[in-house]
Amino acid sequence: MIRRTIPTPDGEFAAGFSANGLRRLRFPGSEPLAASEPEFLAPASQQTEHWFELTREALLAILAGHNVPKLPPLDLASGTDFQRRIWQALLEIPAGETRTYQEIARRIGSPGATRAVGNACGANPIPVLIPCHRVIAAHGRIGGFSSDMDWKIRLLEREGSWPLAKSPVGATQGWFDLQT
């Protein structure tokens, strides 16, 4: 695992690369990448530096509310097949749009697995680049977020998806019923 930090206007993110690509990303302020992760002590190859640059650009783009120009290869080996299918589906959500947990579940061919989608999102090793923040609950509820809810809201704001557009009818949406 090769670690790098990425300064952004929102603070310093931490990225970890394996031999196969970007393996994990962490928000500013969280604990340093676990020392328990197997160290991959290969010299920082030219390829890794290139991945790092792509990661930096992608991160800055999303923080600015834009679509990602080009993603680095993602090392999703830490997930199960099910999780990888979900993460893959999340990558297809463009900036400025959202999907519900149900839509993701249907997309990967397990219409009933909505709650499992929530689990998989929580296990997302690469937040922001894998846009778990664009997944919301049905009926205009926002759902949750493993890190601070502030991040989910902030990211959606930058993309123009907040307050949530899909307001079914009548009910107070967005600002008041979004806790827990």
| Catalytic residue annotation | 132
| Position 142, amino acid | I
State in angstroms the smallest separation of the CB of 116 from DNA. Answer: 3
Instruction: Of 129, 127, 133, 124, give the one whose Cα is nearest residue 101.
Output: 133
Comparison of 38 and 112: residue with beta carbon closer to DNA? 112
CA–CA distance, 115 with 100 (Å, rounded to integer): 11
State in angstroms the smallest separation of the CB of 134 from DNA. Answer: 9
Residue 58 in contact with residue 50, Cβ under 8 Å? no
Comparison of 2 and 22: residue with beta carbon closer to DNA? 22
The residues that touch DNA, with contacts defined as CB under 7 A, are: 80-83, 100-102, 110, 112-124, 127, 132-133, 135, 137-139, 141, 143-146
Query: Do strands 2-8 and 99-100 pair parallel, antiparallel, or not at all (unpaired)?
Result: unpaired
1 Cβ contact partners less than 8 Å away, ≥ 6 residues apart: 16, 17, 18, 23, 33, 37, 38, 39, 40
State in angstroms the smallest separation of the CB of 166 from DNA. Answer: 11
Comparison of 48 and 131: residue with beta carbon closer to DNA? 131
CA–CA distance, 167 with 140 (Å, rounded to integer): 5
69: left (phi over 0), alpha (psi -120 to 50) or beta: alpha
Comparison of 14 and 116: residue with beta carbon closer to DNA? 116
State in angstroms the smallest separation of the CB of 102 from DNA. Answer: 4
